[in-house]
Amino acid sequence: DIQMTQSPSSLSASVGDRVTITCRASQGISNYLAWVQQKPGKAPKSLIYAASNLQSGVPSKFSGSGSGTDFTLNISSLQPEDFATYYCQQYNNYPITFGQGTRLEIK
């Protein structure tokens, strides 16, 4: 199975900041990487697929990059509604696997 490791596991930031979350795959997954946002008590929401493609309706403040084993999610100009947990997920191979999540908190 492909292991997905996110860093950091938690992150404190202020409104208006820009943050970067990193995701590393245990083996190469080309660009078959998605990012998901989840707020407490809510269903996950898809943000990005194919490493850098925004889902419809997702604001351009979110951006993704990477290929192979190393990927990043950038979020610019943080707003209160952006504070949530973010997961990366690979779909290069079955079983589909998620990272452990990065909790983004307000400083």
Partner 1 sequence: EVQLVESGGGLVQPGGSLRLSCAVSGFSFSNYWMSWVRQAPGKGLEWVANIKQDGSEKYYVDSLEGRFTISRDNAKKSLYLQMNSLRAEDTAVYYCARGRHTTGGYFDYWGQGILVTVSS
Binding residues for partner 1, rule: CB under 8 A, are: 1, 32, 34, 36, 38, 43-46, 49, 55, 87, 89, 91-92, 94-101
CA distances from residue 24 to 21, 67, 69, 74 in whole angstroms, order as listed = 10, 10, 5, 15
Least distance between partner 1 and beta carbon 15 (Å): 26
17 versus 101: smaller Cβ distance to partner 1: 101
32 versus 62: smaller Cβ distance to partner 1: 32
Least distance between partner 1 and beta carbon 14 (Å): 25
Task: Write a three-state SS string for 2-38.
Answer: CCEEEECCEEEECCCCCEEEEEEECCCCCCCEEEEEE
